Chains A and B, each alone.
Chain A
Amino acid sequence: MNNEKFHHIILSLKDNLYRLALSIVHDKAEAEDIVQDVFLKLWSKKDEWNNIDNAEAYCYRSTKNLALDRLSSRAIRRTESIDSQQESYAFIDSETPHLQFIRKEERSIIYRCIDELSQNQQLVFQLREIDGLSYGDIANVMGISEDLVKITLFRARKKMKELLEKYNDERI
């Protein structure tokens, strides 16, 4: 890895790592701080860059570990699971108020479902659905076997399916 690769990693991964950190610590400033620390750590290991085979997975793993460390060392209130204001801006198109209402409802449903998952399930689910990582990479990031990743993801998806069906039935 060289300086160019380092900058490429920063630009391509910064938002993914931020989302991962945010999903763990639920605090924007803290999440941003974590991502910065991960990149600083990677920079300080300049001499070992050649020994890091998968820099992306390394960054994801560092972010996850650092975020979990911070979470355990600080009592962070779970206030910012999603930025509601940013959310509403992202979804304001030319939709009717009725459609907007339904969308808002659906968004809250999805996060209500995700909140029901265990932390490991949430992380594996996010790494797969949002970051599109392979099972091997997720295993590397989570520090578990590929089989365990599949089992965790299977359970997470099954639970999501059940919860979505349940909320759908309630709405009807």
Chain B
Amino acid sequence: MMKEYEYIRFLLNKYWNCETSVEEEKQLQNFFSGKDIPEDLQKYAPLFKDYKESQLSIRLGNDFVKRLEAAIHQKEKEKQYITIRIFAPVLKIAASILIMVTLGIGIYFLANENKKPYFAETYNDPKAAIKDATYALEKLSEALQKGEEASKETFNELKNLNIDWTALDSMDVETESEAMIEPNEKENL
């Protein structure tokens, strides 16, 4: 026993000088965890026994691993969406540009539609245009003239028929007066 104490004292000296190995420090911890500790060494017992024991009693809850796994799972999920999230601002800008371009093109075409003339210019040579226009107007004029002549002829023919217009006009009045008399006659009867 004395030999063991001597060895412990020897180890303890090494320990204070930081010359002990991890293994030797374990031996010290084992020794101080026992009951047979010389009185002069008892004051060091808290260092080797109680410190280690109290520290080792500090542990994480049993559900830590479960929660960690859930957090890892969540992180993996987030990773999948991260690409979309990174490009979200770019996508927003692209969408805005697309809307603006669409609107621009729409407005441009609508504005052009309003400006469009009803009679489009089809002639390159103004002289040809005048010539064709004159031809068309002459044709129209001829047609109108023919129409006028035809109506004049009709009037003349009507004049030549010597119709008694007053008689024709009074025909309506007579029939009207007859219609007026008829009810009275019916009453007299």
A60 to B112, CA, bound (A): 73
A118 to B68, CA, bound (A): 32
A161 to B67, CA, bound (A): 41
Q: Does A168 lie at the interface of the complex (its beta carbon under 8 Å from any beta carbon of B)?
A: yes
The majority secondary structure among interface residues of chain B is helix
Say yes or no: A165-B43 contact (C-beta < 8 A), given A19-B55, A82-B58, A90-B54: yes
Residues of A within 8 A of B17 (CB): 154
Say yes or no: A40-B72 contact (C-beta < 8 A), given A18-B59, A130-B52, A130-B55: yes
Stretch at the interface among B18-26, B94-102, B168-176, B181-189: B18-26
Q: Does A51 lie at the interface of the complex (its beta carbon under 8 Å from any beta carbon of B)?
A: no
Complex partner residue of B46 from A18, A86, A110, A154, CB under 8 angstroms: A110
Stretch at the interface among A8-16, A62-70, A71-79: A8-16
Complex partner residue of A10 from B22, B57, B61, B68, CB under 8 angstroms: B68
A116 to chain B, nearest CB (A): 13
Nearest opposing residue in chain B for A86, CB measure: B57
Q: Are A19 and B47 in contact (CB under 8 A)?
A: no
Nearest opposing residue in chain B for A133, CB measure: B22
Q: Does B60 lie at the interface of the complex (its beta carbon under 8 Å from any beta carbon of A)?
A: yes
Residues of B within 8 A of A132 (CB): 22, 25-26
Q: Are B53 and A36 in contact (CB under 8 A)?
A: no
Q: Are B57 and A40 in contact (CB under 8 A)?
A: no
Q: Does B8 lie at the interface of the complex (its beta carbon under 8 Å from any beta carbon of A)?
A: no
Complex partner residue of A107 from B43, B50, B67, B68, CB under 8 angstroms: B50
Q: Are A130 and B60 in contact (CB under 8 A)?
A: no
Residues of A within 8 A of B44 (CB): 161, 164
B175 to chain A, nearest CB (A): 112
Q: Are A40 and B58 in contact (CB under 8 A)?
A: no
A36 to B74, CA, bound (A): 13
Q: Does B16 lie at the interface of the complex (its beta carbon under 8 Å from any beta carbon of A)?
A: yes
**Interface code B14-47, partner A: CB below 8 Å = 1, 0 otherwise?**
0111100010011000000000000000011111
B76 to chain A, nearest CB (A): 9
Q: Are B58 and A86 in contact (CB under 8 A)?
A: yes
Q: Are A126 and B59 in contact (CB under 8 A)?
A: no
Q: Does A22 lie at the interface of the complex (its beta carbon under 8 Å from any beta carbon of B)?
A: yes
Q: Does B131 lie at the interface of the complex (its beta carbon under 8 Å from any beta carbon of A)?
A: no
Q: Are B57 and A90 in contact (CB under 8 A)?
A: yes
Say yes or no: A36-B58 contact (C-beta < 8 A), given A109-B46, A168-B43: no
A18 to B75, CA, bound (A): 21
Show the binding face of B for A, using Cβ within 8 Å: 15-18, 22, 25-26, 43-47, 50-61, 64-65, 67-68, 71-72, 75
Question: Assuming A14-B60, A106-B46, A129-B52, what are 16 further A-B pairs, CB within 8 angstroms?
Answer: A10-B68, A11-B65, A14-B64, A15-B60, A19-B55, A22-B58, A43-B75, A82-B54, A87-B54, A90-B53, A90-B54, A107-B50, A107-B54, A110-B50, A110-B54, A153-B18
